[in-house]
Structure 1
Amino acid sequence: MYKKLVFLSALLIAISAKAQLTMTVEAPPSGLFYKTQLWNILMINSGTDATQMSIELILTNSSGQTVLTGTTPFIPVSAGTKQLQAADFSPIQYEYLSTEVTDHDPNGFLPIGTYDACYNLNVIDQGHPKQLQQDCISITVEPLSPPILSLPLNESVSENPYPQFTWLPPVPLNMFSLLTYDFVLVEVQEGQTSAEAIVQNMPVYFHSNESNIFINYPASGTPLDTGKLYAWQVIAKNEDVFAAQSEVWTFKVREDSLWSVLADGQSFVKLTQDPVSVITCQDILKMYYNNEADDTSLVYSISSLANEDLGAVVKTGTIPIQFGENFIELPLTNGDRLLEGKVYLFSVINSRNENWGIKIMYQQGTNQ
Structure 2
Amino acid sequence: MKKGINILLTTLFGMFCLQAKAQFSFAFMPEVQGRSIDNICKVRISNAGSVTTARLHIVVTEANAGAVVTIDIPQFQLMPGVNTATPAAVYQATVNFSTNKLATIIRQSGYFPTGDYEYCFQLYEGTDHSSPLLAEQCFNYELEPFSNMQLIQPYDEDAICDKRPSFNWQPLIPAVNGVEYRLLLVEVKDRQQPVEALRMNLAIINQRQIPMPMLLYPSIASELVEGKQYAWQVSAFQHELLLAQSEIWSFTVGCERDSTKLPAEAFRNLEDLTRGNFYIARGQVLFSIQNTYAATDLVYAIRCLTKPEQAVKKLPVVHVVKGYNQIIIDLSDNSSFKDGYYYIMDVTLPDGSRKQLRFIYKQAE
With normalisation by structure 2, the TM-score equals: 0.41
- 1 or 2, which has the higher helix percentage? 2
Task: Considering fraction of residues, name the structure with more strand.
Answer: 1
